[in-house]
Amino acid sequence: MITGTYTVIRSAEPDDATAMWRLYDPSRPRSFLLGPTREVMIPTQDEMREMLGRRDVVQGSFFTIEDRAGEIRGCCVLRGAKMESEFAEMVVALDNDDAYDTPLADEVIAFLEKTGFVDKKLNKLVAHCLSNETKYRAYLARHGFVSDGIQRQMVYTRGQYFDLESLSMFNQAHAGSVHGTTVAAS
């Protein structure tokens, strides 16, 4: 568990399923809802609980984000974070778009950068956002992520096409950036 000024970040647990499930709003397409085939996937609460119970999936890579009052505000993930691959996909899913403009969100990205670049010794973090995720994209850019390109009309859901943008940050960019937040281990 990591305790910061604004957050408590801990490994996700099956009991978090109900609170996390509210992030999976089918009327609000988000990049973290995309499965391997780039289709929007909405799990049931039971499927979410089962997935959170699989330690091989969540141990050290799927985290619950709580505010200091103990309310679950979202989750963050480092997918495929293995030293052999040298990169991981990063996801920050917060309960509302305005939360990306808060110190809580800044602490989360500082935690993921440290986990990826320092602890796991990765070379690159990759993130994705759909064309409707403008605040998430601005959040990533504000923290040093640079666009790798946009796949036009990549996702079709709810009667509409969405573009999918890939962004990345390299380790050397992390070493030179200062976000003004610190996260202390507890």
Query: What percent of the chain is modeled with pLDDT above 90?
Result: 44
pLDDT (tens digit per residue) in 111-141? 999 999 998 889 999 999 999 999 999 999 9
For 52-182, strand residue ranges (E) read 62-67, 72-79, 87-94, 124-130, 146-157, 160-170
Q: What pLDDT score does 81 carry?
A: 62
Length of the chain in terms of residues written: 186
Higher pLDDT, 184 or 43: 43
* Amino acid code (one letter) for 93: A
Segment 81-108 shows an average pLDDT of: 88
Q: Which helix (H) or strand (E) holds 109?
A: helix 103-113
Provide long-range contacts, Cβ within 8 A and 24+ apart, for 145-154.
Answer: 145/169, 154/38
Distance CA 7, CA 4 (A): 5
Predicted structure pTM score: 0.81
pLDDT (tens digit per residue) in 21-72? 777 777 778 777 666 656 666 667 677 767 777 754 555 588 999 999 999 9
pLDDT, the chain, mean: 82
3-state secondary structure 31-54: HHHECCCCCECCCCHHHHHHHHHC
User: Which segments of 82-185 does DSSP mark as H helices, in order?
Assistant: 103-113, 134-142, 171-175
DSSP three-state, residue 130 = strand
Q: What are phi and psi of 153, to 5 degrees?
A: 45, 45
Band (pLDDT 50/70/90 cuts) for residue 179 is: very low
Distance CA 99, CA 139 (A): 10
Q: What pLDDT score does 180 carry?
A: 41
* Amino acid code (one letter) for 80: G
Q: Say which DSSP state 81 is in.
A: -
> Which of 4-8, 18-22, 105-109, 128-132 has the least mean pLDDT?
18-22
Q: What pLDDT score does 152 carry?
A: 92
